Chain A
Amino acid sequence: MPPPEAVEEVRVEQQIYARVLDRAAKAGFVILVAGFFAYALGWIPAHVPLERLPELWRLPLQDYLRATDTPTGWGWIVHLPKGEFASLAGIEILAGCSLVCLLAIIPVYARRGDRVYVAICVAEIAVLLLAASGVLTGIH
């Protein structure tokens, strides 16, 4: 069983992770909801007219992308002023929360000399970055 001080050390990194996650997730939720309301209420223009959606959202993904000329990967960035992509920004922040949290706890493990967990965090970041990068897009 671990000595009490070891448990206390574990709690330090958990507290840091929790603090960063709390802030990042709240920011993501706010942007997500705000972007969506602006989109749904027509305050910002949409890439695909909302009225057309019922005939489009039943299509398979590739057909939808072709019919709407929707970009894949990070191509949405140039369309950020459009409603559906403004909403996506919130989703991207939520999906990226864990990256920031992992980066925040690596120094704690490094100071403790816990190389294995530094390596695990770096590997997890690499996995998330691989998924986020879009290099896998279109490879099925």
Chain B
Amino acid sequence: MRVAPARSRHAPINLLPTRTIRLASLAHSLPDPQAPATAAAPAPALARRLSLAIAVLALAVCATPVLGATPAAADAVAWWVWPLALFGVCFLLGIVAVPAGVGGGVLFVPIVGGFFPFHLDFVRGAGLLVALASALAAGPSLLKSGLADLRLALPLALLASASSIAGAMMGLAMSASTVQIALGITILGIVALMASARKSELPDVAAPDRLSAALRIHGVFHDAARGGAVDWRVHRTPAGLVLFTGIGMLAGMFGMGAGWANVPVLNLLMGAPLKVSAGTSSFILSLVDSAAAWVYLNEGAMLAVIAVPSVVGMMIGARIGARLLTVMKASVVRKLVLTLLLFSGARALLKGLAIWN
């Protein structure tokens, strides 16, 4: 394996170059590895802005149940208030999602599903579109840079997209309370995974497994941070295929992007470099979420008035979030987002159990 010097294993998550981030925005945005000193010393003004954004987000999330506390109260609000509120919340979600290194979809479904008056069927449809739009926007840049690899992505995406169809059909067949309970448990599981999972920047792959060798899954990417090219290959491909089948099902069922699961499987299990894992995960989402989105579209579960403001708000917010990457302590934002996820996961679970409606 040809790598640049200063190789470190089990490093904290490293980030895509800034230009890539702007395009990759939501799915897997990673801080600029070439600017660690700046990141360690955040600009006070921008730090204050982000803190303000997070505070406004918390207030907005807390305010929405007041507006829609009862069906009558929600109905009394003019129709345009909700898409506007959705745009605002998604704009703020986009800002915090990027520095936290999570996709917008994983924040969108539990927060909008928990605190807005929309039925969960429509929220999941919109969540899929949010994740899909982000992945499509990031795709060209990631492919051109080699951070997303087609040979690695296509076999995994094939199984994941097929299972996402099954997941979407199952999700739409289940009652809202069942989905809320399952969503709450899944979100709390994601929080545990995100809080505990380690990242390996350049995992050691002694030898490729037979399947990846037969499929010639390997590549080279240019790591600007290390100033050189990195050869990579993968192992444990069959296990990866099985896990991606499960991940696809969850993505379809809950309408979430699944970068939170894709990256650990690609990186920790299959041994792809962290940056390739993040880029390839985003690309895989573009295929998996397309398949599931078609199911929601054909079932009539995609309401433009919910989906479009969400996509636009999230993408504009993510662009600002990408700019804040170099001046914010990602770890601090990440902790705040984990707290937000913990709160919304608990909300989904309690809503499903009819304890907190």
Which A residues lie at the B interface, using CB under 8 A? 1-2, 6-7, 10-11, 13-15, 17-19, 21-22, 25, 28-29, 32-33, 35-36, 39-40, 50-51, 53-55, 57-61, 64-65, 70-74, 83-84, 87-88, 90-92, 94-99, 105, 116-117, 120-121, 123-124, 127-128, 130-132, 134, 136-140
B92 interface contact, C-beta 8 A: no
- CB under 8 Å from chain A, chain B span 154-188: 154-155, 157-158, 161-162, 165, 169-170, 172-173, 176
* A to B CB contacts below 8 Å, 24 in the list: A1-B2, A15-B144, A18-B143, A22-B140, A36-B308, A54-B74, A57-B306, A59-B119, A60-B119, A61-B172, A64-B119, A88-B302, A91-B129, A94-B136, A95-B294, A98-B286, A98-B290, A116-B214, A130-B165, A136-B165, A136-B169, A137-B299, A139-B169, A140-B172
| B209 interfacial by beta-carbon distance below 8 Å | no
B253 contacts the other chain (CB 8 A) = no
Interface of A is mostly: helix
Q: Which residues on A sit within 8 Å (CB–CB) of B291?
A: 127-128, 131
Asked whether any CB of chain A lies closer than 8 Å to the CB of B263, the reply is no
Residue in B71, B143, B215 whose beta carbon sits within 8 Å of that of A58 in the complex: B71
Contacts of A130 in B (CB 8 A): 165
Inter-subunit contact B306/A117 (CB<8 Å): no
- Per CB-CB distance, the 3 closest pairs between chain A and chain B, nearest first, are A87-B304, A140-B173, A131-B294
Q: Does B117 contact A (CB under 8 A)?
A: yes
Question: Which one, A11, A28, A71, A127, contacts B161 given CB within 8 A?
Answer: A127
Cβ of A91 and Cβ of B307 under 8 Å apart?
Answer: yes
Q: Which residue of A lies closest to B124 (CB)?
A: A61
B-chain residues with CB within 8 Å of residue A22 when the two chains form the complex:
139-140
Interface centre among B83, B141, B150 (most CB of A within 10 A): B150
